[in-house]
Amino acid sequence: MLRADQVSGITRPRKGAIAVLAAVALVAMLALVAAAIDIGFMLTVRTDMQAAVDAGALAGVGELPRGRQHARKSAIDYVQRNARTNGTVKKSDIATTVEFGHWNRSNRSFAKGQEPLNAVKVVADRSNAPHFFGKVFKHDSFKMGASAVATYQPRDIMLVLDYSGSMNSSNKIGALKDAVAVFISVLQQSRANDRVGFSVYIHERLAGARLDVRSA
């Protein structure tokens, strides 16, 4: 049987216990909120970097027919423009690497330096991206990178040869020959693997006829 002093000891109120638990829970809640904010910002930076390399790869492959130098400059320029979404991002914080190669459509792989060149790969890294609450744990900044590959689709070009007689004028046919010569020269310099075809325009039927385009 319990004595009176033992009973009073059991039922004695413990003041401040809830306050301690509430303080611990509040600290844990604030830590979760801080982690969520930092992780959310990291995901935002990753999205921005992916958009930047996508834009850079597309810009680079668009300039690929003009040569690697133009393609590299254009790719880096577009990465810088899209990665620096605010004034706090410095140009030196973005490191960009541009590679040229061949994209194999069958196995969806990029081979660096392989001919014929039809693809541009852009890899970019952003350093010194700030943590908001990670500084409490001595993590002031983080690094985030992304990569993208863009391919060049050869163009299908059709030349229509006029056999109707409307180009009989010496001035017209001479201008046409000069234009074709310039076109072929530009096409050869581009090294873009474009496909060129020929068709004819004429009032009469030419079924089975042979046309000598070399004399056009």
Residue ranges covered by each domain of the chain:
10-151, 156-215
Sequence-ordered strand ranges (E) for 67-118: 94-104, 109-112
- 104 neighbors 92 (Cβ within 8 angstroms): no
pLDDT computed for residue 129 by the predictor: 83
Q: What is the mean pLDDT of residues 99-104?
A: 94
pLDDT computed for residue 24 by the predictor: 78
Q: Has residue 179 got a pLDDT over 60?
A: yes
Residues 6+ away with beta carbon under 8 Å from 101: 110, 111, 112, 113, 114, 117, 119, 121
Residue with tokens 């509040």: 26
Write out pLDDT tens, residues 5-35.
555 555 555 666 677 787 878 878 887 887 8
